[in-house]
Homo-oligomer: A and B are copies of this chain.
Amino acid sequence: METTELKIEDLSIIANGYVSSLINKLLNRAFKKHNLNITTEQWTVLTSLNNNDFQTQQGLSEDTFKQKGSITRLIDTLVKNQLVERTSSPNDRRSNLIHITDLGKKIDNKAKEVVTDIYNKSIKGVTYTEILKVKSIMTIIINNLINEDNL
């Protein structure tokens, strides 16, 4: 394997999160414009629950790649806005079970349309094959970083 002569600039467009922060900004504006009253972070949690209801906060933490402290606060907000309900697990009193409400589902479905719209606009001129290629490379990078994470 040749030594790759990587320059910082080559990876920085991936590493600096400019794409994701740009998407995040646009999505938050679009959510506001459509009166959805959620943030993209809240939407990430909501959509995880809409796919798989009654998860623990720990489960949500793993599924959304967010730390459990962040999940606690996001759930606080979602509960306050009646998009989810938090109940203590009967099996394990350390755990909470989070349940998405009907309102939560409704908001999530509307948000999905907004997200799909912006995602589609973002990939104009990029083929589906290319997207999948990027996805697979990102996955490799993520795994490398996760290994690095366990020092």
Q: Residues of A with Cβ closer than 8 Å to B? A: 4-6, 8, 10-11, 13-26, 44, 65, 112, 115-116, 118-128, 130-135, 137-142, 144-146, 148-149
Contact = CB atoms under 8 A, between A and B. Distances in A.
B131 A145 contact: no
A41 B145 CA distance: 19
A20 B22 contact: no
B20 A128 contact: no
B148 A118 contact: yes
Nearest to A116: B8
Contacts of A25: 149
23 contacts: A4-B131, A6-B119, A6-B128, A11-B119, A11-B131, A14-B20, A14-B131, A14-B135, A15-B20, A15-B24, A17-B17, A17-B24, A19-B142, A20-B20, A23-B145, A25-B149, A26-B148, A121-B144, A123-B141, A123-B144, A125-B144, A126-B140, A134-B134
A16 B65 CA distance: 10
Given A14-B134, A126-B137, A142 B8 contact: no
A70 B125 CA distance: 32
Contacts of A116: 6, 8
Given A6-B116, A10-B131, A119-B11, A18 B126 contact: no
Given A4-B127, A122-B144, A122-B148, 9 more contacts: A4-B128, A6-B123, A10-B132, A11-B123, A13-B138, A19-B138, A124-B144, A126-B137, A126-B141
